[in-house]
Each structure stands twice: as C-alpha cells, then as structure tokens.
C-alpha cells in the first residue's frame, strides 16, 4: 500500500522532471548552439526536435501512468 502511494506520488515528480529537462536542454544547450551557427545548428535541432520530445514525452507519459496507478501492485 505504501509502495503504491510512493509510486503514484513520484509520478508527479517524473512529469516535473521531464519539463525541467526540456527547459534545460532548450535554454542551456540548444540556444547557445543555435547562436553559434554553422554545424552547431544540427545538435541544436536534434536537442529541440528529437531529445526534448523523447524526454518530455516519455517522462510525462510515464509519470501520468504512475499517477493513475498503472504500476500499482
């Protein structure tokens, strides 16, 4: 019972973590790379259009499932 509660509460943490990771990747990684121009644009685009959706999508979706009790024993 305690474990199930923990799993559900942590679901919110995973959703917030996903959002935080996206903020970090965009402002600390992608934006400086984009400003640098040249070949640095490719990793910037990959951060924004590949990594961010994967991190936000997977952590957000996983967190939502956990919050909904999908991983309850």
Partner 1 sequence: MFAVIGASSVGTMIEWYDFYIFGSLATLISTKFFPGGNETLAFLSTLATFAAGFIVRPFGALFFGRLGDLIGRKYTFMVTLLLMGGATFLIGCIPAYETIGIISPLLVLLLRLLQGLALGGEYGGAATYVAEHSPNHQRGLMTSWIQTTATAGLIISLVVIAVTRASMSEESFQAFGWRIPFLASAAMIYVSYIIRRNMHESPLFAKAKAEGKTSVNPLKESFGNRYNLKYVLLALLGVTMGQGVVWYTGQFYAMSFIERVMHVPKVQVDSILIWALCLGTPFFILFGGLSDKIGRKWIMMAGMLVAVLSYRYIYTQMYETANVQHKTELTTKTAFSTELKGADSVYTVLKTYTDGTRYSEITTVTAGTRHTEKTVTLTPAAKRTLIFWVFIQVIFVTMVYGPIAAFLVEMFPVKIRYTSMSLPYHVGNGIFGGLLPAIATFLVTRAGAVNDKAVGQGLAAPIDKPYLEGLWYPILIAGICLVIGVIYLDGKDNRVDD
**Contact predicate 35/73, CB 8 Å:** no
Contact 70, 10 (CB under 8 A): no
Interface positions with partner 1 (CB under 8 A) = 3, 6-7, 10, 14, 17, 29, 38-39, 41-43, 46, 50-51, 54, 58-59, 61-62, 65-66, 70-71, 73
Rounded to the nearest whole angstrom, what is the least distance from the CB of residue 1 to partner 1 in the complex? 14
* C-alpha to C-alpha distance for 42 and 65, rounded to whole angstroms: 33
């Amino acid at each position: 019972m305690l474990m199930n509660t923990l799993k559900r509460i942590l679901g919110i943490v995973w959703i917030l973590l996903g959002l935080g990771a996206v903020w970090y990747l965009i402002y600390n990684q992608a934006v400086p790379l984009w400003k640098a121009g040249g070949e640095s644009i490719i990793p910037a685009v990959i951060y924004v259009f590949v990594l961010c959706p994967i991190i936000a999508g997977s952590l957000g979706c996983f967190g939502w499932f956990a919050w909904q009790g999908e991983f309850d024993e």
